[in-house]
Structure 1
Amino acid sequence: MAQAPRAVVVGGGIGGLTAAVALHRRGWEVTVLEWAPSLAPVGAGISLAPNSLRALDVIGLGDEIRELAAWQGDGGLRAPSGRWLMRTSAAAMAERFGGPLVVLHRAALIDHLAARLPEGTVRTAAPASLIDPGDPGDAGDVARPARVGTPDGELEAELVVGADGIHSAVRRALFPEHGGPVYSGFTTWRVVIPVPGAAFASHESWGRGRIWGTHPLKDGRVYAYAAAMVPAGGRAPDDERAELVRLFGDWHDPIPAVIAAARPEDVLRHDVHHIAEPLPAFHRGRVVLLGDAAHAMPPTLGQGGNQAIEDAVVLAHHSDPEGPDFAAYTVARKPRTTAIVRQAVGAARLNMMRSRPGIVLRNAAIAMVSKAGPGLFLRSFDSIADWRPPGPPYASDRAHTP
């Protein structure tokens, strides 16, 4: 029996682990190198839209996650005063896109992905560096494997997946002339906590240069996030919980209660960056990039992790162990993700707007769209949520509705 080709995945986040599972199912011998001491992700939630849930169907995980997660959509968009600008419906979304939008803790998704890999696949506390991107031997060149350096020595592989995040070292090694990510103009705060006595619908609230979102999880906790237009690199003079009180403490319920339930150590703060200038390709030699390493985007569409999951299953689709086609992966993924990055940047300009007259016009337009029915609002999400994985045996045409 021929030896299985070797794949090294640099990065043990959601995109890297999804790629590892998908490649393993295709017959690759996979090693995941994660620099952190464990796979435990930051304490935050993640929304998964129908497009990424269909991608998880490819690796047999979609229904597990649908069952585990809270279905999102019954709620809407509010002003800081609490006035509803727009109501949304989980049923309308599921009907339009053939599946729900769900939210869960990132750790739960990481755990379920890691459980699909053979024991010993994932190496933690394992920083990695790309030494040689290798060459697949196209156009008469001599084929050679890629080489990755680790504290325990070099690894050779027929495929290296750079899934090492926004500040990807693999990306810098492949495209040193690229400018890398830029500051998106705002920072975010996130918490996942129990909030005793809280009962509310999912919502996102838009203020002047600030937004807040609150979503109940299926396990009884609350996932909340906030964002504000501030200079890069800032930190609160006391603690980040106190900063949330200053920025959002006078907003509508349940926002003050969520802040009050958080401890300072529960609050995560991160500046937001995105890749404004698309990379020339998502591959070079035997190395491919996926997720934030390839196309980091603002979180305003909730698609960062979703696009990483899509990347992973499309990569596996084009990675026949007998002859992977890395160029086909770039062709399949670069136009779509470039368009979504631009859409996310445009959404950030809208929901982080600072101009008072602009906000009045924006809110009036949202109210008009809302009166026209949910279909008009959802139409802007059509080209994102209706995506399906490449053809058999990967495509899932099952409908998932409430």
Structure 2
Amino acid sequence: MGFKAIIVGGSISGLTTALLLEKAGIDYVVLESRDIAPPVGASLGLWPNGFRILDQLGIYEQIMEITVPTFKTYMLSRGKTLARPAPDEKDIAKETYGYSSCFLDRQYLIQILHKNIANKDKVLTQVKINSIDQTDEGVTVTCADGTVYTGDVVVGADGVHSFVRGEMWRSMEKDDPTLLPPGEKTAITVTFSAMFGIAKDVPGVEAGGVYMAHQEQSQLMTVGGKDGRCFFFIFKRLGKVYTAPDLPKFTEADRDQVAEFHRNHKVNEVATFGNIWDRKIIGTYLPLEESSFTKYAYKRIVMIGDSIHKPTPASGQGGNGAIESAAVFANLLVRALARHKFCKEPHLSLDDAVGISEEYSTMREARMNELIKTSHVMNEYSLWPAHVLSLVEFVLPLIPSSLAQMGMKDMLFAPLAGGPHVEFLPLPQKKGQWADMVAR
């Protein structure tokens, strides 16, 4: 028996990790508590920093078959159009990094990741975990049905309300109660809420169009996908900051109340939110959880994705950040196992596991804190009171589109330059201003 990774969670972060390990020839098992790719109605923005890694995994073309580049941005304030894309609007993302930004059903990306895993028998569903225990020799995962899985590391990819994170904390407190940083258990906060969903054939929504419609203290965002797909969002400020474990929950009645309040608000030059709502396939209203954890790993447990770093959707870096983290973990693991292969040791020593954990934590905490902060600021700056709306309505039409594009490039695209790549897979032949390429 050689090295084995146990991945808990079969969504984007978990399946990306699985595909990376499979490409590296590393044994693994995925334990998912539900089915793969359930139709929950969520959309996903893919940005160049995520796309580059997915391209290395060989699935870029498959994704582009079901989506379109999104770079034509319209802006409205209280029903008045303030900005439209120029006839020769440039795709800044593609010009800068070699990849466009795109929107698609989150479910579809998960399906593509799963389809490209060769050993699907390693992806197990409907698995409920009872406990995770670490020793100097390895890690043991015990399931509700009595099944036990043993391995060298556990990857926690099980979402914002992560069971693995709780087991990591339990392990830390068992070893030394002072190891858990103060405030770690209250690190999830909620400042904003969001209505999100998917509709079909909404008037005035063109494929690849992005529509930012502002009302007082709220923003309605609509993105046109392929074949009439329409991804919609309503961002709202809640009026206070909630802290875990006392986070708000919303009902279907709350959702419908928000939808009705915005029914007559314009989302583009010809349609209102009511047109979207009447054509919806699915719609959900949720608190926007953000996290600022400081401990990303401990010994043989490594946390990835929303389980440890969750921004708001404003910058689109939730899924892309998860893909980045999967790549960084895989890079560190491949390096460590290469040393072990040279030494002919079949398993990862505790010292090496700790080394991976500490380096991963250092690299990802700094990076994700930057992206989480950017997302929060974007939400703050897009939810304007009435007097700010009036100022924007006066000033924005006076700003040249080239200057507005420069501002967008600085806020949205500059942070992407620090995205990692997969060290053990060939780099695509797409040119981009990546920090890790400039440094070479």
TM-score range, shorter chain: 0.7 to 0.9
Deviates more, 1:365-374 or 1:13-22: 365-374
Tell me which residue corresponds to 1:339.
370
From 250, 257, 266, the equivalent of 2:265 is: 250
Q: Shift of the alpha carbon at 1:299?
A: 1.1
Tell me which residue corresponds to 1:272.
288
Match status 1:165 vs 2:166: no
From 19, 30, 43, the equivalent of 2:28 is: 30
Tell me which residue corresponds to 2:150.
156
Q: Shift of the alpha carbon at 1:290?
A: 0.7
Q: Deviations over 1:145-179 (max 9, x none)?
A: 11112124221111211011111121122236522
Q: Deviations over 1:217-265 (max 9, x none)?
A: 213321112122237323354x7345312234332442331122126xx
1:356-371 alignment runs, 5 A limit: 356-361=386-391, 368=399, 370=401
RMSD: 2.5
Tell me the distance in 2 between the aligned counterparts of 1:358 and 1:369. Answer: 20
From 257, 271, 288, the equivalent of 2:302 is: 288
Tell me which residue corresponds to 2:249.
233
Q: Deviations over 1:275-328 (max 9, x none)?
A: 13x32x311111100111111111111110110011111111111233563322
Tell me which residue corresponds to 2:317.
303
Tell me which residue corresponds to 2:215.
207
Q: Deviations over 1:325-354 (max 9, x none)?
A: 33222222111001111121122211123x
Q: Shift of the alpha carbon at 1:197?
A: 5.3
Deviates more, 1:216-225 or 1:316-325: 316-325
Deviates more, 1:48-57 or 1:197-206: 197-206
Q: Are residues 365 and 391 of structure 1, via their aligned partners in 2, closer, same or farther at CA, if it must alter by over 3 Å?
A: farther
Tell me which residue corresponds to 1:217.
225
Tell me which residue corresponds to 1:139.
none
Structure 1 contact 190–223 (Cα < 8 Å) conserved:
yes
Match status 1:144 vs 2:150: no
Tell me which residue corresponds to 2:67.
69
Tell me which residue corresponds to 1:259.
277
Q: Which amino acid aligns with 1:126?
A: V
Q: Which amino acid aligns with 1:156?
A: T
Q: Are residues 65 and 312 of structure 1, via their aligned partners in 2, closer, same or farther at CA, if it must alter by over 3 Å?
A: same
Q: Are residues 75 and 226 of structure 1, via their aligned partners in 2, closer, same or farther at CA, if it must alter by over 3 Å?
A: same
Tell me the distance in 2 between the aligned counterparts of 1:105 and 1:42. Answer: 9
Secondary structure, in 3 states, of the residue corresponding to 2:148? strand
Deviates more, 1:80-89 or 1:16-25: 80-89
Match status 1:91 vs 2:91: yes
Tell me the distance in 2 between the aligned counterparts of 1:213 and 1:9. Answer: 34
Identical amino acids, percent of aligned pairs: 21
From 394, 415, 440, the equivalent of 1:384 is: 415
Structure 1 contact 79–85 (Cα < 8 Å) conserved:
no
Q: Deviations over 1:174-220 (max 9, x none)?
A: 23652244332222122223226554332122222211111122133
Tell me which residue corresponds to 2:176.
none
Structure 1 contact 14–308 (Cα < 8 Å) conserved:
yes
Tell me the distance in 1 between the aligned counterparts of 2:395 and 2:364. Answer: 33
Secondary structure, in 3 states, of the residue corresponding to 2:137? coil
Q: Which amino acid aligns with 2:387?
A: P
Tell me which residue corresponds to 2:194.
188
Tell me the distance in 2 between the aligned counterparts of 1:80 and 1:150. Answer: 53
Number of aligned residue pairs: give it: 384
Q: Are residues 90 and 204 of structure 1, via their aligned partners in 2, closer, same or farther at CA, if it must alter by over 3 Å?
A: farther
Unaligned segments of structure 1, at least 5 residues: 135-142
Q: Are residues 371 and 248 of structure 1, via their aligned partners in 2, closer, same or farther at CA, if it must alter by over 3 Å?
A: farther
Structure 2 contact 304–322 (Cα < 8 Å) conserved:
yes
Secondary structure, in 3 states, of the residue corresponding to 2:120? coil
Q: Are residues 364 and 308 of structure 1, via their aligned partners in 2, closer, same or farther at CA, if it must alter by over 3 Å?
A: farther
Q: TM-score, normalised by structure 2?
A: 0.80
Q: Are residues 284 and 199 of structure 1, via their aligned partners in 2, closer, same or farther at CA, if it must alter by over 3 Å?
A: closer
Structure 1 contact 93–101 (Cα < 8 Å) conserved:
yes
Deviates more, 1:75-84 or 1:43-52: 75-84
Q: Shift of the alpha carbon at 1:122?
A: 1.5
Deviates more, 1:149-158 or 1:170-179: 170-179
Structure 1 contact 299–344 (Cα < 8 Å) conserved:
yes
Secondary structure, in 3 states, of the residue corresponding to 1:18? helix
Tell me which residue corresponds to 2:124.
123
Q: Are residues 149 and 369 of structure 1, via their aligned partners in 2, closer, same or farther at CA, if it must alter by over 3 Å?
A: farther
